[in-house]
Amino acid sequence: MTLNFGVVGAGGIGKTHIERLMQRVSGATVTAVADINVEGTKSYLQEKNWAIKVYETDTELINDPEVDAIVVSSWGPAHAGTILQAIEAGKYIFSEKPLATTAEDCQRIVDAEMKHGKRLVQVGFMRRFDEGYVQLKEAVDSGLIGEPLLVNAQHFNPTVPDSYTTDMAITDTVIHEIDVLHWLVNDDYESVEVSFPRQTRNKFGHLADPQIVRFETKNKIALEVQVFVNTQYGYDIQCQVVGENGVLDLPEFSTVRLRKDFKVSTGISEGWNRFTRAYDTEFQAFVDTIQEKGQPAFPSAWDGYVAAVTADACVKAQTSKQRELIVMPEKPAFYQE
C-alpha cells in the first residue's frame, strides 16, 4: 500500500522533502501541499510536472481524506498548531525540528498523542539515520572502547544569515547534538554550561560566535559541543567518543579524492545536504515502520520534548553563565523503544 503524504510548508526544506518522497522513498507519494504562497507552489509543481493538489491552509490539507501522513516543514512557531490538528484527525506526522518552539507545546503534543492511544509522530532528527553516526553508535554499544567517558563534538557552518541570533546556536544548530549525543551514549542529560571564547571577526555584531556548550549526563559523561557558524570554510560535523579503552571518531564525510596540481584533496560539504542520505533513510523508516507496525519509527514526540527542555536549559545557561540543571520527567512506557 502506498502512503499518501501531504506536505505543510513548501519552502527550501519542504521542497527537498517533496522531491525525496516523489523520487526516492518507496511506498510513498505526495498528494497535497499546503503553503500560503499558493501561486508559487503551483508553478513549482507544474515545473516538476507533478499533479499535486495545493491548499492555502494546513487545516484543509489535514482534512483531505486522501492524505494519510503529514510532513510538517513550515516555520517552527507554526508546528504545534498543525501537529495538534493532525493528531486529532488521527494522521501520521513527520515533523521537522523543532517539534514545537516551546517545551509546553511539546508537552501538549505528547499528551495529545498519548490520549490518542498510539504513536503517530516521528521527528526529523535525521542524524540518527546517518551511516556514520549509526556506525559510531554500534561501536559504542559493542563495548569496543569500554564505557564512554568524554564526547567532543563540533558543529560548524560556513556562514549564517543576519536573522540568525545567539539563542539559535542552541535552538537551530546544537539542537541536533542535543538529540543525537545522549542517544549515542545511552544516557540522559543532567546539566549544562555555556561559555563564549574568543569571538570571530567574521560575524554580525549581535551574534556570539563561537560558543562552547558543555553537558554532563546522569552518569557523569562530559559532552562538549563547539558551535561555530561562521567558519568560512565549510559545513563540518565532527564527533569523537573517548572511552576507557580507546577513542572512536565519526567517519569523515567523504567525496572523491582528487590528485591534481601536486596536491591530494577531498571536498567538505557546503551545507546540510551533508545529511541528504540520512533524511532519505529516515523517511524510508517512517514509511516502512508504519506499514509494518501501524506506528512510525523513532525519534518520537518524546524525543522532541526532551530536546526542547534541554534547549531551554542551554538558552538559560547562555545568559546566566552558570551551570543549569536539565530536569525531565520519567519517560512514559508509551514511548519506550
All residues at 6 or more sequence positions from 171 whose CB lies less than 8 Å from its CB, including other chains: 98, 101, 311, 315
Q: In a 3-state reduction of DSSP, which class is residue 197?
A: coil
User: Which region, judged by CB under 6 A, interacts with ligand INS, from 52-60, 168-176, 177-185, 325-333?
Assistant: 168-176
Is 272 an interacting residue with respect to ligand INS (CB under 6 A)? yes
Q: In a 3-state reduction of DSSP, which class is residue 240?
A: strand
Q: How far is the CB of 157 from ligand INS (least distance, A)?
A: 5
Nearer to ligand INS, 243 or 304 (CB): 304
Nearer to ligand INS, 73 or 173 (CB): 173
Hey, which residues between 181 and 240 contact ligand INS (CB under 6 A)?
A: 229
Q: How far is the CB of 295 from ligand INS (least distance, A)?
A: 26
Among 58, 64, 172, 324, binds ligand INS (CB under 6 A): 172
User: In angstroms, what is the C-alpha Rg of the chain?
Assistant: 20
Is 277 an interacting residue with respect to ligand INS (CB under 6 A)? no
Is 276 an interacting residue with respect to ligand INS (CB under 6 A)? no
Using CB atoms within 10 Å of the CB of residue 319, give its burial: 0 to 12 exposed, 13 to 18 middle, 19+ buried. exposed
Among 31, 85, 95, 157, binds ligand INS (CB under 6 A): 157
Question: Cis omega (within 30 of 0) on the bond before 296?
Answer: no
Nearer to ligand INS, 50 or 272 (CB): 272
Strands 189-195 and 324-325: antiparallel
Distance CA 75, CA 299 (A): 20
User: Which region, judged by CB under 6 A, interacts with ligand INS, from 117-125, 146-154, 169-177, 302-310?
Assistant: 169-177
Is 130 an interacting residue with respect to ligand INS (CB under 6 A)? no
Q: How far is the CB of 229 from ligand INS (least distance, A)?
A: 6
Among 173, 230, 281, 284, binds ligand INS (CB under 6 A): 173
Q: How many residues bind ligand INS (CB under 6 A)?
A: 6
Q: How far is the CB of 126 from ligand INS (least distance, A)?
A: 9
Q: How far is the CB of 89 from ligand INS (least distance, A)?
A: 28
Q: In a 3-state reduction of DSSP, which class is residue 287?
A: helix
Distance CA 32, CA 36 (A): 13
Cα–Cα separations (whole angstroms), residue 152 to 19, 155, 251, 334, 337: 34, 10, 14, 32, 27
Q: How far is the CB of 98 from ligand INS (least distance, A)?
A: 10
Q: What are phi and psi of 239, to 5 degrees?
A: -155, 125
Length of the chain: 337
Is 171 an interacting residue with respect to ligand INS (CB under 6 A)? no
Establish how many alpha carbons lie within 13 A of residue 57's alpha carbon, considering only the half-sphere containing its beta carbon: 5
Hey, which residues between 86 and 105 contact ligand INS (CB under 6 A)?
A: none
Q: Which residues bind ligand INS (CB under 6 A)?
A: 157, 172-173, 176, 229, 272
